[in-house]
Chain A
Amino acid sequence: GAVVSQHPSRVICKSGTSVKIECRSLDFQATTMFWYRQFPKQSLMLMATSNEGSKATYEQGVEKDKFLINHASLTLSTLTVTSAHPEDSSFYICSALKGGPSIYEQYFGPGTRLTVT
């Protein structure tokens, strides 16, 4: 397996503030990480693909100016939810891609539960 950490695990913030979530691969280097969002009783929805040293690739319908992604090193990607609103309340999960050159597996962090009041 592989170990991926996320911080914080839970955050409550007021509407209009920004929240930064960190995702770290602890025992391997990850050129590629992914950010997902999951609403209650629904499946994971991919938000964006984070590539070390380059701009993130966002899925259709995800606002890149609202969800800022930075992947400055091979072990750290950050997601900043800017000007958060109650509808942004969700479970945010990152994953890191391990393996290669032909076989890759995604390992997930423990998630961050965001509540915007």
Chain B
Amino acid sequence: RKEVEQDPGPFNVPEGATVAFNCTYSNSASQSFFWYRQDCRKEPKLLMSVYSSGNEDGRFTAQLNRASQYISLLIRDSKLSDSATYLCADGTGANSKLTFGKGITLSVRP
């Protein structure tokens, strides 16, 4: 079983839509999680860190469900510029190394 699993999508939504991504993790002892955004042929950029039950930043909300071992990312009022690949990561490895999911590709259409 993979340590971090994401629904590969892709997701194709109209502007203004609300979209949610889920990511499951296998290590019940994991304490820290992250959502990164990666544009085509670019490096991942940290979007949100999740250490407790959740985190909110503008249109973005990340939630952690420890009982079911998943984290989610909710994007409200989608913009064209939100089109990218979204990677979740478990940051509980040795030396805080990250275990990434495969990424979810989001396309926001006009």
Contacts and interface: CB of A to CB of B under 8 A. Distances in A.
A70 B15 CA distance: 46
B101 A46 contact: no
Contacts, number: 54
Contact of B43 (A42, A46, A49, A108): A108
Nearest to A44: B100
Given A103-B32, A108-B44, A49 B100 contact: no
A77 interface: no
Nearest to A99: B96
Size class of A's contact patch? Answer: 20 to 34
B59 interface: no
A97 B44 CA distance: 14
A10 to B, nearest CB: 11
A107 B46 contact: yes
A25 interface: no
Interface of B: 32, 34, 36, 41-46, 49, 51, 87, 91, 94-98, 100-103
26 contacts: A1-B46, A32-B95, A32-B96, A34-B97, A34-B98, A42-B102, A43-B87, A43-B102, A44-B44, A49-B94, A57-B95, A91-B41, A93-B43, A93-B44, A95-B98, A103-B49, A104-B91, A104-B96, A105-B49, A106-B91, A106-B96, A106-B98, A108-B45, A108-B46, A109-B43, A110-B42
